[in-house]
């Protein structure tokens, strides 16, 4: 399923109306009808509703909703909030129809108390004030109406297309935004539905088909971003049935586990096995070797000769054994060390199989940006930063990263020709060719130490199994989020072991729907 910007949606809208010839009011009728159907699903018996409609086409959808509610015997208080002369032509058609059904109130100062009363007595309030045409913060009197609606606890609030006040592309809220219980959007979700704070106020999201031309997949109109669903990688969702030698299932090499962060490589290794890797080798500094041997049974153990931390010479060990591995993951518990730049540079140059760089491997990259050029052209590389690591990689701040997540991820992916997995609530995956996938799965249960190590192991495992990166990365991110959802709705009481068990479950049960 595509994820679109407001501009891309307008272009698809225009193409459908002008090139394909489907009139805009047909789309509007379908949109409003879809919202009404979602209301009837939740409230099968007629109730009281208050519909708030703006002057644009979002308001037009609202008039259609009002008419369907009236047709079903609902009591509907209809409010127009805007200036008549600015009303769009399509909205005007349905506004006129509604005026023949029942009185339509026009918000003005004198009507304030009546509107507030209508908000309080409504079972359902339909927010059709603003949609993808929102520019900046809500202007009076919309800001006051929305503030009052948000202070009215009783009604079930249904937002049309977007909660009014949320920016369709960034999820930003400049001053006020409707806090919805349900948002019904049309044809494709928008970035603003999945970027905070917009993602926090949209309630449940339903995507309704309204007749937008879908043939654009084969034209340059194809939107660049997709929502991550099993349909994107379903051919790999089923574990392979053939009974083959364990070497068939790949060999992941995880490097890290320096001073006191041994658990990081163990968790990455365990997650890799649960995702189906045939072999996992963990490489840690010599000094950690015995401690590691006491902790693991099924992972092969390697260690770099050298001191407490990785020393620059240890990458030589890599040379004679590198052909064993079908993927490498560097970073879990790696730490920082003298000679890190030369060590990582040599490894990036030597590793010809897919390479995942996480945690301190990213921090070393951030400290020595010339390392980006050490990867051979076409060598598959996956960066898995959390927002703080991303900020260091691009010389920005975490706050800056958080307000333009998909842009910064895409820019870095294009600049480095690498896959960028920007973790967080709704992880963004940027491909080296500029495509993007937004991941909708996840739960607060993932917000704990070790969760990132698990993801590194999961991505590395699927790459080691020779699944192409454009499938392996979205699949691992999706399943990692699903495992978090299974482990629990909150971080209370969830340990990494619970996540590991959940990973095993989702890997063997996730089938495309
Ligand atoms: N293909 C589809 O997705 C369809 C979408 N539909 C609906 O159309 C809206 C987009 O309509 P548009 O007229 O472009 O914009 P809006 O209705 O969102 O708003 C424009 C309206 O609002 C005023 N305005 C803009 N910013 C502000 C502000 N900050 N404060 C106050 N007022 C503001 C502006 O002056 C205009 O008057 C989309 O969301 C869908 O709901 C179609 O109905 C069907 C096809
Ligand atoms: K709206």
Name which of 76-90, 218-232, 463-477 the model is least confident about: 218-232
Task: Tell me the C-alpha to C-alpha distance, in Å, between residue 313 and each of 18, 88, 98, 308.
Answer: 65, 70, 78, 13
Number of neighbouring beta carbons within 10 Å of residue 369: 12
Residue with CA at minimum distance from ligand 1 atom 39: 131
* The pLDDT value given to residue 461: 96
Q: How far is the CA of 490 from the centre of ligand 1 (A)?
A: 36
Sequential DSSP letters for 362-378 = HHHHHH-GGGGGGSPTT
β-strand pairing of 225-227 with 2-3: antiparallel
Sequential DSSP letters for 125-148 = EEEES-STT--SSPPTTHHHHHHH
**Residue whose entry in the numeric block shows the structure tokens 């949209």:** 202
- Alpha-carbon distance of 195 to 172, in angstroms, equals 8
Residue 422's φ and ψ, nearest 5 degrees, are -90, 105
* The pLDDT value given to residue 307: 44
User: Domains along the chain?
Assistant: 6-223 (3.40.50.10260), 245-373+441-508 (3.40.1190.20)
Find, among 482, 472, 473, the residue nearest to 503 by Cα.
482
* Residue 88 CB–ligand 1 contact under 6 Å: yes
- Kindly state the percentage of the chain with pLDDT values over 70: 91
Looking at all shown ligands, the one closest to residue 180's CA atom is 2
Number of neighbouring beta carbons within 10 Å of residue 352: 15
Give the ipTM of the model, two decimals please.
0.96
Q: How far is the CA of 139 from the centre of ligand 2 (A)?
A: 14
Tens-place pLDDT, residues 24-78: 999 999 999 999 999 999 999 999 999 999 999 999 999 999 999 999 999 999 9
188 marked as part of a ligand binding site: no
Q: How far is the CA of 479 from the centre of ligand 1 (A)?
A: 36
Tens-place pLDDT, residues 126-182: 999 999 999 999 999 999 999 999 999 889 999 999 999 999 999 999 999 999 999
109 marked as part of a ligand binding site: no
Average model confidence (pLDDT) across the chain: 90
164 marked as part of a ligand binding site: yes
Q: How far is the CA of 56 from the centre of ligand 1 (A)?
A: 5
* Residue 56 CB–ligand 1 contact under 6 Å: yes
How would residue 445 be classed by pLDDT, with cut points 50, 70 and 90?
A: confident
Q: ∠ at Cα 93 (87, 99), nearest 5°?
A: 90
> Is residue 262 over pLDDT 50?
yes
Using DSSP, state whether 479 is helix, strand or coil.
helix
Sheet with strand 2-3: strands edge to edge: 2-3, 225-227, 436-438, 428-430, 419-422, 381-383, 355-357, 327-330, 251-255, 279-285, 300-304
Alpha-helical regions (H) of 224-316: 262-274, 289-295
Alpha-helical regions (H) of 43-86: 57-71
How would residue 312 be classed by pLDDT, with cut points 50, 70 and 90?
A: low
* Residue 142 CB–ligand 1 contact under 6 Å: yes
What mean pLDDT comes out for the span 244-251?
A: 74
Residue 325: half-sphere exposure toward Cβ, Cα within 13 Å: 29
Cβ–Cβ < 8 Å for 220, 199: no
* The pLDDT value given to residue 50: 98
Pocket test of ligand 1: the residue of 54, 90, 129, 221 to mutate, having most ligand atoms within 8 Å of its CB, is 54
Residue with CA at minimum distance from ligand 1 atom 42: 28
Q: How far is the CA of 156 from the centre of ligand 2 (A)?
A: 14
- Alpha-carbon distance of 315 to 338, in angstroms, equals 13
Q: Which protein residues have a CB closer than 5 Å to ligand 2 (ion)?
A: 127, 159-160, 164
- Alpha-carbon distance of 428 to 23, in angstroms, equals 35
């Amino acid at each position: 399923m595509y994820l679109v910007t407001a501009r891309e949606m307008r272009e698809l809208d225009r193409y459908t109306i002008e090139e394909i010839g489907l009139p805009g009011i047909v789309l509007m009728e379908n949109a409003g009808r879809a919202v009404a159907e979602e209301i009837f699903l939740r409230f099968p018996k007629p109730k009281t509703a208050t519909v708030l409609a703006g002057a644009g086409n979002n308001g037009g959808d609202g008039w259609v909703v009002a008419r369907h509610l009236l047709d079903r015997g609902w009591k509907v208080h209809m409010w127009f909030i805007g200036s008549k002369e600015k009303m769009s032509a399509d909205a005007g058609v349905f506004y006129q129809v509604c005026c023949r059904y029942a009185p339509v109130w026009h918000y003005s100062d004198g009507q304030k108390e009546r509107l507030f009363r209508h908000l309080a007595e409504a079972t359902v309030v339909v927010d059709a004030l603003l949609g993808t045409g929102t520019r900046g913060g809500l202007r009076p009197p919309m800001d006051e109406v929305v503030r009052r609606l948000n202070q009215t606890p009783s009604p079930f609030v249904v937002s049309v297309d977007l909660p009014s006040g949320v920016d369709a592309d960034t999820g930003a809220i400049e001053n006020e935004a409707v806090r919805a219980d349900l948002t019904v959007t049309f044809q494709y979700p928008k970035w603003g539905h999945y970027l905070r704070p917009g993602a926090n106020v949209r309630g449940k999201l339903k995507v309704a088909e309204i007749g937008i031309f879908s043939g654009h997949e084969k034209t340059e109109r194809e939107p660049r971003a997709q929502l991550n669903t099993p349909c994107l990688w379903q051919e790999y969702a089923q574990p392979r049935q053939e009974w083959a030698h364990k070497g068939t299932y790949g060999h992941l090499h995880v490097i890290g586990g320096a001073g006191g962060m041994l658990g990081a490589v163990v968790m990455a290794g365990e997650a890799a096995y649960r995702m189906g890797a045939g072999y996992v080798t963990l490489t840690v500094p010599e000094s950690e070797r015995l401690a590691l041997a006491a902790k693991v049974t099924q992972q092969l153990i390697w260690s770099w000769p050298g001191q407490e931390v990785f020393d620059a010479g240890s990458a030589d060990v890599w040379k004679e054994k590198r052909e064993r591995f079908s993927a490498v993951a560097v970073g879990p518990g790696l730490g920082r060390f003298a000679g890190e730049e030369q060590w990582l540079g040599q490894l990036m140059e030597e590793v010809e199989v897919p390479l995942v760089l996480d945690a301190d491997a990213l921090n070393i990259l951030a400290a020595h940006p010339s390392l980006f050029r050490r990867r051979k052209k076409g060598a598959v590389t996956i960066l898995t930063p959390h927002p703080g690591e991303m900020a260091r990689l691009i010389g920005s701040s975490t706050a800056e990263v958080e307000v333009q997540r998909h842009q910064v991820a895409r820019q870095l992916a294009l600049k480095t020709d690498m896959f960028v997995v920007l973790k967080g609530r709704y992880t963004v995956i940027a491909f080296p060719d500029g495509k993007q996938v937004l991941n909708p799965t996840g739960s607060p249960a993932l917000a704990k130490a070790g969760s990132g190590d698990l993801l590194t192991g999961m991505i590395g495992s699927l790459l080691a199994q020779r699944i192409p990166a454009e499938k392996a990365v979205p699949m691992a991110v999706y399943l990692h989020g699903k495992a978090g959802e299974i482990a629990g709705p909150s971080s209370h009481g969830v340990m990494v072991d619970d996540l590991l068990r959940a990973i095993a479950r989702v890997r063997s049960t996730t089938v495309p729907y």
